[in-house]
Structure 1
Amino acid sequence: WDPNSAGTLDRLRAAATPSLWAEIGEPEADIGTVRAAVDRFVTRAVVHVLRTKKPRLLFAHFINVDDAQHKRGRDGAREALKVLDGQLARVLEAVDDQTLVLVVGDHGFVDVERNVNPNALLRDAGYVSVVEGKIAGWRALGRSSGGSMAIYVKDPKDVRPVRELLRGKSEGMYDVLERPELDTLGYDPAAALALEPRGSWAFSGALTERFVEGVPTVKGNHGQRPTRPGLATGFIAAGPGVKAGTLIERMRLVDVAPTIAKALGLELKDVEGEPVLR
């Protein structure tokens, strides 16, 4: 189900049996639009499954801490983390001391103060044509994820002038990344170039805005290169096989799946990551 959809509640009701609906409790009406409501429902559902089904493996995704930082910046996570701490406490009450629990993040955050819109630059240079706010045609176009922007160029002959156009207007707002570095990062192979914002800048992909916007659409963002300060995330492990006080100096997101597999007595072949719990 899609947590961004107003029809989420109806789809959940249609997929659930009456008894399951009663046991877990009806989600709040705004679950399709309010992230905190999603986390409250996920907490109840996880506790119910742990107590009644005793699964060997369970994944739960809590999303409100992410939403809070997008809306209010890095410091906006404090209250959301307090709420999540209580929700995790309920989950821990539903398992025994022989259960391995991993708390994992997938990214950190960078505070945002201003937006820059490279598509406006491409539009003004004739690489994108816009009619009534919609794309009528394009030769070069940016797709924004906030923390980075992929630049797609139809004709390889246009890559150089597009690169020079974007680089010439960067003015300390962003860096232009070329294919050799993008290949190392595993970036979208269809993108000719990519942009990474500097400092507290973020990208907008709108077609009708100015090149530089003073008011950002969000207060916090992610999606930059993983070496960017602030983007590292956390990993907490507790349970059998975990020595209290152990500090893992550095690990990668691709190490999480092999760690889980090892705990289950399974082996993942041909993967980049390695188990971090010995």
Structure 2
Amino acid sequence: MKKNIYTIMAALALVAGAQQIAQAQAPQAKYVVMVTVDGFRPEFYLDSINYAMPTVRELMKNGVAAQGLNPVFPSVTYPDHTTMITGVTPAKHGIYYNTPFEPEGATGKWYWDYSLIKTATLWDAMHKAGKTTACVRWPVTYNAPIDYRIPEYWDYKNMGDARPYTAAATQPASLWKEVQDNATGLLEADDLNAANNELIQDENAARMAGYIIKKYKPNFLALHLACTDHYEHENGRDHYMVKASVAGADRAIKTLVESLNRAKIADSTLIIVLGDHGFENIYRSFNPNYLLKQAGLITDVKTGNWKAQFHSSGGSSFLMLKDSKDKATLNKVEAILAQQPDSVKKYYQVISKAQLTKIGADPNVPLALSGIDGTTLGNKSDVIFEKFAHVKGTHGFFPDHKQIQTGFVAFGPGLKKGAVIPVMNMVDIAPLIAKLTGVTMPAMDGKLYPELLQ
């Protein structure tokens, strides 16, 4: 009899152990809301004196955070947003810049279309797992397989009014009218812009996302808030409108939290707030194409009469060879850069092919430049430097710049309370979401941090 009792107890213990293992391995978040504050800097939530982000700090207090998040290279919006939802670098996912290199001169096109992404995304993984998805003004989602889709999209020939182009790209088509009827009111042209010291763009985007959460409860929703980036570009890091934008973004995030509560799904939702890049003050623009034109490597790009030209991406610029096998031209460009006087060289650093490969940048590029000492990179070929009348801001620099780090805060099922780690990388975001939701993604470049997980 005693033996039978021991046998039963042992069996029960095995069952209990199996249940604990199963629970530990089971997905812990049924829903995910991921919000990017474009131009998000760690001090926005680490410094409670100078920046008003009470909602984000409350999420951090009860969840997890990083003191810094390293972007990809170039540290600009579209490559970083695509890395967030793929877990791989631009070299693999194919969104190398915000704007593609156009050999005959830039027209204003961006990497809008989802079909340009070369690897699997969280949108794909969620659908394969039978989950629903949504996005509001998320980059590279034009024609994306997203159930409730309001993409970031505009006509580069008519920058002032994105409404007709966004409306035409919204899925389902009825959603555009639906969010105006129930969330924003009738939208005017400036209601989707960041201009005139207004924050209405972020406010409307958050209202749209909040409505979708309450009405449809998608398992994965991604929202892009862009006002902070706009005003950092206009005025540098420390302007009043930057601080106002940060406070506005926090209120937008509070709108989402309120919507989760109204939808009664807050307890099962993972909330991630992060940025795509930090920001640096800039005082001048350096145009390396001027050096190439002076050396006879650029005559007229519009007629195809060039051997090499640089493609600017904010604070960096990438060398494009007309003939990728033209070693003589590459050697000449390297010599030109090396021979510049210190008065020129002090404003840029050369990023080698080995560095580009290691960080996962555009694999077609033999070298790049990254601005230093408050210098951005331009595409002009008729002037070497342009000095700004007042301080501005930009990003795109090589991620060894401390100020280009962005931020990360997360709260929800499966995460510890109050854990803060020194640094993460942009490729680490998708693995965390996959882990906590149980969706399957192909091999990714990022890693998990056990110190963040329960």
Q: Same fold (TM over 0.5)?
A: yes
Name the residue aligned to 2:311.
143
Distance 1:218 1:121, change over 3 A: farther
- Matches of 1:252 and 1:137 in 2, distance apart? 40
Long gaps (5+) in structure 1: none
Question: Which of residues 29, 32, 37 in structure 1 aligns to 2:189?
Answer: 29
Name the residue aligned to 1:184.
358
Question: Which of residues 113, 125, 137 in structure 1 aligns to 2:283?
Answer: 113
- Matches of 1:187 and 1:217 in 2, distance apart? 31
Question: Which of residues 228, 233, 241 in structure 1 aligns to 2:414?
Answer: 241
1:128 maps onto 2:298 in alignment? yes
Distance 1:123 1:135, change over 3 A: farther
Q: Are the equivalent residues in 1 in contact too, given 2:287–2:385 (CA < 8 A)?
A: yes
Task: Specify which structure has the bigger relative contact order, considering alpha-carbon pairs within 8 angstroms and separated by 6 or more residues.
Answer: 2
Structure with bigger gyration radius: 2
- Matches of 1:253 and 1:29 in 2, distance apart? 33
Distance 1:238 1:41, change over 3 A: same
Long gaps (5+) in structure 2: 1-151
Distance 1:135 1:196, change over 3 A: farther
- Matches of 2:313 and 2:391 in 1, distance apart? 12
Q: Are the equivalent residues in 2 in contact too, given 1:163–1:176 (CA < 8 A)?
A: no
Spell out, residue by residue over 1:137-156, the C-alpha distance to the aligned partner (whole angstroms, 9 max, x if none).
11111111121111123322
Aligned length: 275
Q: How big is the shift at 1:178? A: 2.2
Q: How big is the shift at 1:266? A: 2.2
Greater shift after overlay, 161-170 or 83-92? 161-170
Question: Which of residues 262, 270, 274 in structure 2 aligns to 1:100?
Answer: 270
Greater shift after overlay, 68-77 or 11-20? 11-20
- Matches of 1:130 and 1:173 in 2, distance apart? 26
Q: Are the equivalent residues in 1 in contact too, given 2:180–2:187 (CA < 8 A)?
A: no
Question: Which of residues 215, 223, 241 in structure 1 aligns to 2:388?
Answer: 215
Name the residue aligned to 1:152.
320
1:2 maps onto 2:153 in alignment? yes
Greater per-residue helix proportion: 2
Structure 1 vs Structure 2: percent identity of aligned residues? 31
- Matches of 2:406 and 2:179 in 1, distance apart? 35
Question: Which of residues 222, 233, 236 in structure 2 aligns to 1:73?
Answer: 236
Other structure's SS at 2:221 match: coil
Q: What TM-score do the two structures reach when normalised by structure 2?
A: 0.57
Q: How big is the shift at 1:12? A: 4.0
Q: Are the equivalent residues in 1 in contact too, given 2:318–2:369 (CA < 8 A)?
A: yes
Question: Which of residues 38, 48, 51 in structure 1 aligns to 2:211?
Answer: 48
Q: What TM-score do the two structures reach when normalised by structure 1?
A: 0.90
Other structure's SS at 1:227 match: coil
Name the residue aligned to 1:206.
380
